[in-house]
Amino acid sequence: MDRKLAFHVTDDCDNMLAQRFLRDKCGLSARMITRLKREKNGILMDGKILRTIDYVQSGKNVEIHLPNEKSEIEPVEGKLNIVFEDDDFLIVDKPPFMPVHPVKQHQNDTLANIVSYYCKTRGEEFTFRAINRLDKDTSGLVIIAKNRFCANSLKNKTHKIYYALCEGNIDKSGTVNAPIALQENSKMVRTVQSNGMPSVTHYKPLISNNKFSLLELWLETGRTHQIRCHMSYLGHTLIGDDLYGGSLKIMSRQALHCGEVNFVHPVTKNFIKVKAELPIDMKKVIKQNINRDIY
């Protein structure tokens, strides 16, 4: 997808080396700068070629021309619940039971396949880059960057809020600060281990009874299965999470939903805040077992 970005040279950047301006002020990686140098009119200043050894001048505009990209993912028609879109991002509310990326067992029934189809019908094409990755059975918001610049700029700079239905009564907010590692003899299950990666999960109960609790959670770290592992560690496994000891009697998947994402847009600098309400299956459990309607 053809995309041009402009950066104004302010007085404090006058006579700054272009290489430094592109890295420090534009947020371009060394790899991207190298790639742009190979592109025709990849880096310009007021319409003229700007070399990395040149100096930028205050009052002028530096323009980068992001190269077109091809999607290598098979386009497959499907329903796409779009909650936000502009020239740089696509944010969708992913249903449960849908993988984000194609894998060996799922080649053409993923979110990436449907996004590829959606974009091609609009005459757009870009490499699928999901900023946050949800498990197949986890529902909720997925941020997709339409170009490499925005993907790199947003790395580790998004705030996400999750909602989970857990077994047992949790009536106080808390924090789990416990390292997570891959369980021995498993390629998937994570456990709390002293030699694991630092992992911090904050949680707040919204509603609860003696059997179940609806929690709001946010993470300081983004380990694989972090919420699922930490809640199991506390003795409050997610409903439907049989991988971590939960029961499948009430739900056939882990009751976990990414319900809010927010970030500062790397191009417009606007604050973006997007929400997605709880899916039907989680609402149904809350209604039937906690006797509450929630939206």
- DSSP symbols for 59-72: T-EEEEEEPP----
- Give the three-class secondary structure for 214: strand
User: Could you confirm whether 88 is annotated as catalytic?
Assistant: no
Rounded distance, CA 154 to CA 1, Å?
19
Residues in the chain: 295
Rounded distance, CA 237 to CA 18, Å?
53
Rounded distance, CA 3 to CA 234, Å?
47
Q: Considering only CA atoms, give the Rg of the chain.
A: 22
Rounded distance, CA 1 to CA 56, Å?
27
What share of residues in the chain are helix, strand, coil (percent, to 5)? 20, 30, 50
**C-alpha distances in angstroms, 175 versus 218, 231, 263?**
10, 10, 23
Catalytic entry in 12, 88, 93, 135: 135
Q: Report, as residue numbers or ranges, the catalytic residues.
A: 135
